[in-house]
Amino acid sequence: MATINDVARRAGVSIGTVSKYINGIKIREQNRVKVAEAVEALDYHINPYARALKTNQTRVVTVLLPNIAGIYYPLIIREIERILYTRDYMVLLMDTDSQFHLEQQKIRTLMEQLVDGFIVFPIDSRCENYQVILERRIPLCAVDMPLPGLSCTQILSDNVAAARDATRTLLGEGHRRIALITGDPDNTIAVERLNGFQMACREAGVEIPPEYILARGFREADGYEGARQILSLPQRPTALVACNYHTTLGAFQAIQDAGLSLSRDMRLVGFDYEALPKITRQPIGIVAQNIPEIAAATVRALLKQIRDPNLIGQAETIRIPTRYIPSPYSGAGRP
Amino acid sequence: MATINDVARRAGVSIGTVSKYINGIKIREQNRVKVAEAVEALDYHINPYARALKTNQTRVVTVLLPNIAGIYYPLIIREIERILYTRDYMVLLMDTDSQFHLEQQKIRTLMEQLVDGFIVFPIDSRCENYQVILERRIPLCAVDMPLPGLSCTQILSDNVAAARDATRTLLGEGHRRIALITGDPDNTIAVERLNGFQMACREAGVEIPPEYILARGFREADGYEGARQILSLPQRPTALVACNYHTTLGAFQAIQDAGLSLSRDMRLVGFDYEALPKITRQPIGIVAQNIPEIAAATVRALLKQIRDPNLIGQAETIRIPTRYIPSPYSGAGRP
DNA sequence: TTGTAAGCGTTATCAT
DNA sequence: ATGATAACGCTTACAA
């Protein structure tokens, strides 16, 4: 592997000059030509490890997430990687398997000037692991899950508006008995979506009985059991909102298993699982997060911190609007 | 950030001794205690860049894949990352967006002793990009897509057996008119699966008319159009095998759109999309790849090359058996 | 077993 | 503008 020394020798200049050339600092035209030739001829590439040792800049960003096999993470990490690559950064992937301690351990591993920044998708709203990053003055963006206790850049979907608008759509279709399945009250996303739902109902003057609101959890089983319970209520709702991917899937199956028709008996609005209506050929409305925007905002915010370390640890929340995708069979399911 | 020097000073030993301690070489017990104390007290962590500069070992592995948002990649990369982490390696993720030139470019970026090895999921069967890796004597495992032209470790599902066994199942259920949708003949996976299909038919003495075999492409549209075409044949088959995730989805939709019942009119066997039967509540058989095994074999093979560079570039093909998941409503759809 | 010192490939300082 | 040289933090002979 050719080094800067080889290049300098071949070009007949000093390594200092070559270094300047590499780093875009002006050198005499006649030297520039010679160095360029040598670089080309020797197929010289900089050694990022030597550079990192000297500069403490690695051009590597770690992305930490609970489960790369989720519905949402692959899409967003794909965007993040793509954008970062255009800015000459690479992505180190760490799956935390939704385990607090594994996350803690992996952060420790990476921390010692290994990376120029962290992009984290929190497991829950605990902040200790991330606090450590900030204490070391390492750039950090937290995405997806609101962390009220953490002073850093947070890129979040506008969950309140998302749930509010979806609910408004249902109300606009004439539904008055609408149920909601969301995560437990510890989950900040779940709470925001619940708030949006209630906001829409309140502003429409529609009273939702407490048994229509299930805030138990975000897993598929929660969606399935929740929907089953709601469907067996004496006064059954005419529409159901499920507030994440897993509960949407669970609720969908419970409705099917109950033998109800999604066009006639029970309108379903879900989150995140854009392909579900298409795959199942069923009329389901979906709230989709704006993944390209989230990725772009995240990278932008992180690079800003890398450029200006004073920004590290400054609280800033960026809300990205979601998109409501009406069911392809819209109009169906009016009560 | 504490360095090896700080530790040495605090422990009252030389940096050589500290280095030995770090690298698990025996030092005098009384020094071991002192060094351990200093490491702990100073929260010392090794600087991987300094180490890499010296040793040319980075403990980073690059995973290159066509699209992290596919059905298969997130699952397998999750496993790979998990296993590599237990062996003290990190994963650098590069999405090639199925573009040959982007792949080429990203490989170049990484090559200069940046990583200890490559795990690639090829876009197609072109080998030039990977050849370059081998020329530099960098460990390489190619996964998923057979590359007949490349002499390296290849970890592949046993595609012939997979298609053969799935077809046998259909034959065993009494089907005699079975159609196949697979990728185009340039795609080595498609060809292997076609071979398995034909093998099963041949050994059962079942003649398959040429119009039952569509080898046009692996995209969803290919599955949809292919199935439509097959369904409109004068002599319609009673079963259909779709040879990857996308065509399975497409075929499923074409069958639905044709108003045919998957339990009565047309048996469907697909690949990879394990959740499809569950999500759709339809009787679909699925050939599932053994992702944990593939990941484990891949990591094992890569680490072997890292340990013994003589193995780099040696041809070795490891075949991982697939699993056939019968449709949950099995028995249905007998012709 | 330990300490010393050279060197990995850069960047950055400082004369020139 | 350029060249010589001293770090950066580590590993590894080699000497003690």
Bridge partners (DSSP) of residue B139 are: none
Q: pLDDT at position A262, please? A: 95
The helix/strand/coil state of A219 is coil
Q: pLDDT at position A110, please? A: 76
Picking from B298, B245, B290, the residue whose alpha carbon sits closest to that of residue B81 is: B298
Q: Which nucleotide is nearest to B23 (CA to C1')?
A: D11
- To the question of pTM greater than 0.75 for the whole model, the response is yes
Bridge partners (DSSP) of residue A156 are: A319
Q: pLDDT at position B331, please? A: 47
Question: How close are the terminal C-alpha atoms of chain B, in Å?
Answer: 72
Structure token pair of residue B217: 């492409």
- Judged by CB atoms closer than 8 Å, whether chains meet at A280 and B279 is answered as yes
CA distance linking residue B83 with residue B121, whole number of Å: 18
Q: What is the full DSSP assignment across A41-84? A: HHT----HHHHHHHHS---EEEEEES-TTSSSHHHHHHHHHHHH
- Alpha carbons within 13 angstroms on the beta-carbon side of residue A262 total 24
CA distance linking residue B259 with residue B250, whole number of Å: 14
Distance of CA B332 to the CA centre of its chain: 32
- Judged by CB atoms closer than 8 Å, whether chains meet at B112 and A69 is answered as no
Distance of CA A313 to the CA centre of its chain: 19
Q: Which residue is nearest to nucleotide C9 (CA to C1')?
A: A50
Q: Which ranges of chain A have pLDDT less than 70?
A: 112-113, 329-335
What does the pLDDT look like over B184-242, one tens digit per residue? 999 999 999 999 999 999 999 999 999 999 999 999 999 999 999 999 999 999 999 99
CA distance linking residue B253 with residue A1, whole number of Å: 53
- Under 8 Å CB-to-CB from A331, ≥6 apart: which residues? none
Q: pLDDT at position A177, please? A: 97
Determine the distance between B2 (CA) and D6 (C1') in angstroms.
21
For residue A75, the chain B residues in CB contact (below 8 A) are 69
Amino acid identity of B135?
E
pLDDT in tens, chain B (335 residues): 899 999 999 999 999 999 999 999 999 999 999 999 999 999 999 999 999 999 999 999 999 999 999 999 999 999 999 999 999 999 999 999 999 999 988 888 777 668 999 999 999 999 999 999 999 899 999 999 999 999 999 999 999 999 999 999 999 999 999 999 999 999 999 999 999 999 999 999 999 999 999 999 999 999 999 999 999 999 999 999 999 999 999 999 999 999 999 999 999 999 999 999 999 889 999 999 999 999 999 999 999 999 999 999 999 999 999 999 998 754 444 45
* Cβ atoms < 10 Å from Cβ of A222: 23
* Cβ atoms < 10 Å from Cβ of B308: 11
Please, is A315 exposed, middle or buried when counting C-beta atoms within 10 Å of its C-beta (0-12, 13-18, 19+)? exposed
Residue A72 phi/psi, 5° resolution? -105, -40
Q: Are A226 and A233 contacting, i.e. CB atoms less than 8 angstroms apart?
A: no
CA distance linking residue B323 with residue B310, whole number of Å: 34
What does the pLDDT look like over B94-107, one tens digit per residue? 999 999 999 988 88
Q: pLDDT at position B113, please? A: 60
Average pLDDT value over all residues in chain B: 94
CA distance linking residue A71 with residue A272, whole number of Å: 8
Scan for tokens 């009494």, then name that residue.
Answer: B174
Amino acid identity of A46?
I
Scan for tokens 């057979």, then name that residue.
Answer: B146
- Judged by CB atoms closer than 8 Å, whether chains meet at B279 and A279 is answered as yes
- Distant-in-sequence contacts of B126-130, Cβ < 8 A, 24+ apart: B126/B100, B128/B104, B129/B100, B129/B103, B129/B104
Strand pairing class (A140-143; A117-120): parallel
Instruction: Check whether residue A15 has its CB closer than 7 Å to nucleic acid strand D.
Output: yes
Identify the DSSP state of B61.
E
The helix/strand/coil state of B12 is coil
CA-atom Rg of chain B in angstroms: 25
Q: Which among B57, B132, B279 is the top mutation candidate for probing chain A, defined by the most A β-carbons within 10 Å of its own β-carbon?
A: B279
Q: Is B284 touching A (CB cutoff 8 A)? A: no
CA distance linking residue B224 with residue A279, whole number of Å: 12
Structure token pair of residue B117: 């090895």
CA distance linking residue B112 with residue B124, whole number of Å: 24
